[in-house]
Amino acid sequence: MRRLIDESGDGAQSALARSLAVAVPSVNKWALGYSNPAERRWPGIEEHFQLPAGSLQSIALGGPADNRSRLVELLEQALADHGDSFTKAERRAIAGTLKTLSGGS
């Protein structure tokens, strides 16, 4: 979450805040890693980043080893299914997240 927001570029925090009807400072706290979004916000986050419904809950409930591979799978699927609808900054953020999760630097 932190990396997706952080690397989405200018306006990403505002766009996510509008999408979720929350204050920009709340999203900023998520981006800085000071807090995490409440579970009730997960469906809106999934919708904003075009992830399958229930994917954040699935990741949260999986074991530590499963979390990384499941998130990679979901992000790759979101890019394959909806890549054209993402902005260039969002695609770059997802690619950076995938690289980090895959052990790249």
pTM of the model: 0.58
60 — pLDDT class (breaks 50, 70, 90): low
Q: Which residue has the higher pLDDT, 93 or 61?
A: 93
Predicted confidence at residue 25, as pLDDT, reads 92
Q: How many domains does the chain have?
A: 1
Considering only CA atoms, which of 7, 19, 6 is closest in space to residue 91?
7
**Domain range spanning residue 31?**
2-101
- Per-residue pLDDT reduced to its tens digit, 73-87: 888 888 888 878 888
